Structure 1
């Protein structure tokens, strides 16, 4: 079955206060449980802020590896987390994405198919 990544875009800056974030996280736990119960959920993860990233770039012209701190692209938002799901088709994946967008509103969700020939087996 095809896999899709549901990426969660969030604005740069501090996370929301606990009184705002806690109900969202409870709703997210309910959605994740539903994904698991329906066999769609593969795995998910939250990411540390972009300032913790290290970018590696290999320059073929002079055979140098360039290492920089922080995100490669400057922007006003970043991927804060993701969920990988299995879905019969794009419409089904988009429905899970819509539910995630509703749960995490006003954050945006990107739904993107994973290339099937590069699948990594996941035990679980």
Structure 2
């Protein structure tokens, strides 16, 4: 079954926490349970704020590490789900539930199929 990446983004500069965070997390937990029950769950994770990221660039004689984030933008990825879905349409249905739970937009991208060996 195809894999899809569902990503949530939000403005991370302010450090503000939504006043209804407990309700949001309860809705996300319910979504995660439903993904598992449907056999769609692969994995999910939330990220530390983007300003805590490090950017690593390979150089001919080693690597350079700089403070992140890599992209100079206010909005950064805050977490993701990796799910199984029969189609982009089915993945969008899960993403809509995620967007409602998070009160944020959710980006859906199909994962490239694995190459057969």
Q: TM-score, normalised by structure 1?
A: 0.84
Write the distance in 1 (CA, Å) between the matches of 2:32 and 2:46.
13
- How many matched pairs? 113
1:1-124 matches, within 5 Å, as: 1-12=1-12, 13-17=14-18, 19-59=19-59, 63=60, 65-105=63-103, 107-117=104-114
Give structure 2 stretches of 5+ with no counterpart.
Answer: none
Q: Which contiguous aligned blocks of 4+ residues in structure 1 show a shift greater than 6 angstroms?
A: none
Write the distance in 2 (CA, Å) between the matches of 1:30 and 1:72.
32
Write the distance in 2 (CA, Å) between the matches of 1:22 and 1:84.
23
Give structure 1 stretches of 5+ with no counterpart.
Answer: 119-124
Deviation at 1:58, TM superposition (A): 2.6
- Computed over aligned residues only, the root mean square deviation of the Cα atoms, in angstroms, reads 1.5
